[in-house]
Amino acid sequence: MRAYDVTPDVEVMREELHLFRWAQARGYDLVAVYQEVEEGSIDVLTELVEELRRTGSRAVLVPSIEHFGTSHPLQDNLWAHVVHNARAEVHEVNQ
């Protein structure tokens, strides 16, 4: 999820709790929350994909597709990157 320096801690905690509850209600175990804090970076997304490949986990939760970027092409491409490279399903929690 995107959590920039200007994002209030309470908002970050609220999103994390929402992810946890969504996962729990659907039988998933939320193991880790990855936060991209640098605007325009995909370093943390790259770490996530590597961890998914290493562990074989098959689900990624995002609060919304907007957490993949500010433009629709970027959002679509990063979503596809996770699906293709990690062979994971991506779920939008705030739909």
In this predicted model, what pLDDT tens digit does every residue of 24-51 receive, in sequence order? 999 999 999 999 988 888 999 999 999 9
pLDDT value, residue 40? 83
* Orientation of helix 72-86 relative to helix 43-55, angle to 10°: 20
Q: What is the DSSP secondary-structure string of 10-51?
A: HHHHHHHHHHHHHHHHTT--------B-STT--HHHHHHHHH
Residues 51-74, mean pLDDT to the nearest whole number: 94
Say whether pLDDT at 4 is over 80. Answer: no
Is pLDDT above 80 for 5?
Answer: no
Cβ pair 90, 77 in contact under 8 A:
no
Residue 83: pLDDT over 80: yes
